[in-house]
Amino acid sequence: MFAKSELKNLALEYGKKFLFPDFTNKLTWFVAGIGGAVILTPTPLKLIIYNWLVDSANLNSGSRFTLAELKPDAADYWVGVALIIGALLHNVANRYLIYKEQRSSLPRASGQSNQIDKELFKKFLEDFPSNSGSIDMLRQQDFSNSFNITRLANLEKFVDEWDTVEREFLNTDLERMRRELWEVCYTFNYKLSMGAYDLNGGPVFSCIPDAYRGTDNWPKHVDEKIDELNGLSTTCFKLYEEFVRFGRKSLAENI
């Protein structure tokens, strides 16, 4: 027998098929068409057709038979109604079989998608781990101070390599969060590369121009640049944590 959840899903997904059937099945079209013809055809015309069928049978078979006398007002609409109802029931049964096939294929497809996302998430954590210098820098660095640019190697790898279709998650929520994280990291990396200056050839950089380094008397645009970089780095860190937590939870729940 059917489970309650199965009956509920069937009713929600295909209940409307009974009231508004999809006449794509040729057999459904044929039977329902005959039923409609029986209902709509005037009784005198049906009598002519019946008599023609009897005469043709008698002419070709060599033995005669007759039909009971049909009155012009004979009510045989129930035949047409029965044919239409039978066609509708056939259509519903056909849809149920399609529904069962689709439902049976969902677990396998879902499992495959989840496995692909799990492997991709593992790759993400390898390229951009939470214990990397990049994450530590995003969490703690104040860009009014100098910094070692090599600590951002993992972030730069993420920005450079995770903007391709091969790095897209099949889970729509996970992919949306990955995309949002990538866009903010890209913006931060771009702004930093345009607003930082190497000290003695690097790898130490500073966002304070040489003319103002060592003083607190900075122009307004320097303060605005530092505030922007600090804000972007904080946003990157928060989005990273949200993405990792959501990824671990969603992939674990879909096992």
Instruction: Return the HEC string of 92-127.
Output: HHHHHHHHHHHHHHHHHHHHHHHHHHHHHHHHHHHH
Q: How far is CA 10 from CA 14, 26, 86, 230, in A?
A: 6, 23, 20, 53
pLDDT, averaged across the chain: 78
Orientation angle between helical segments 153-161 and 172-195, nearest 10 degrees: 120
Average pLDDT over residues 13-17: 56
Beta bridge partners of 204: 148
Reported pTM: 0.59
Average pLDDT over residues 126-147: 96
Using CB atoms within 10 Å of the CB of residue 218, give its burial: 0 to 12 exposed, 13 to 18 middle, 19+ buried. Answer: middle
Q: Which of the residue ranges 44-48, 95-99, 158-162, 179-183 would you say has the lowest mean pLDDT?
A: 44-48
- The pLDDT tens digits for 97-125 are 665 555 554 445 456 788 999 999 999 99
Q: Would you place residue 226 in the very low, low, confident or very high pLDDT band (cuts 50, 70, 90)?
A: very high
pLDDT at 106: 46
- The pLDDT tens digits for 65-89 are 554 444 444 445 555 566 567 656 6
| Separation CA 76–CA 41 (nearest Å) | 11
Residue ranges covered by each domain of the chain: 4-107, 128-253
| Strands 197-198, 204-206: pairing kind | antiparallel
Residue 152 has pLDDT above 70, yes or no: yes
Percent over 70 (pLDDT), the chain: 56
pLDDT at 198: 92
Residue 44 has pLDDT above 90, yes or no: no
pLDDT at 91: 65
